[in-house]
Amino acid sequence: MKMITKNIFINLPVKDLQKSIDFFTALGFEFNAQFTDDKATCMVIHDNIFAMLLVESRFKDFTKKEIADATQSTEAIIALSAESREQVDEMVNRALAAGGKQTNEPMDHGFMYQRSFEDLDGHLWEVMYMDASVINK
Provide the pLDDT for residue 107. Answer: 96
Cα 103 to chain centroid distance, Å, stands at 14
Tens of pLDDT along 66-118? 999 999 998 899 999 999 999 999 999 999 999 999 999 999 999 999 999 99
Angstrom distance (rounded) from CA 81 to CA 89: 12
Helix (H) or strand (E) holding 124, with range, is: strand 124-130
pTM: 0.88
CA dist., res. 119 & res. 73, Å (int): 14
Q: Do domains 8-59 and 74-137 have the same CATH topology?
A: yes
What pLDDT, on a 0 to 100 scale, did the predictor assign at position 137?
Answer: 56
- Find all residues with CB under 8 Å of 67, minimum gap 6, and list them: 13, 56, 59, 60
| Predicted pLDDT at 136 | 61
CA–CA gap between residue 76 and residue 125 (Å, rounded): 9
Domain 8-59: give its CATH superfamily: 2,3-Dihydroxybiphenyl 1,2-Dioxygenase, domain 1 (3.10.180.10)
Q: Is 74-137 assigned to CATH 3.20.20.100?
A: no
Would you kindly state where each structural domain of the chain is located, as residue ranges? Answer: 8-59, 74-137
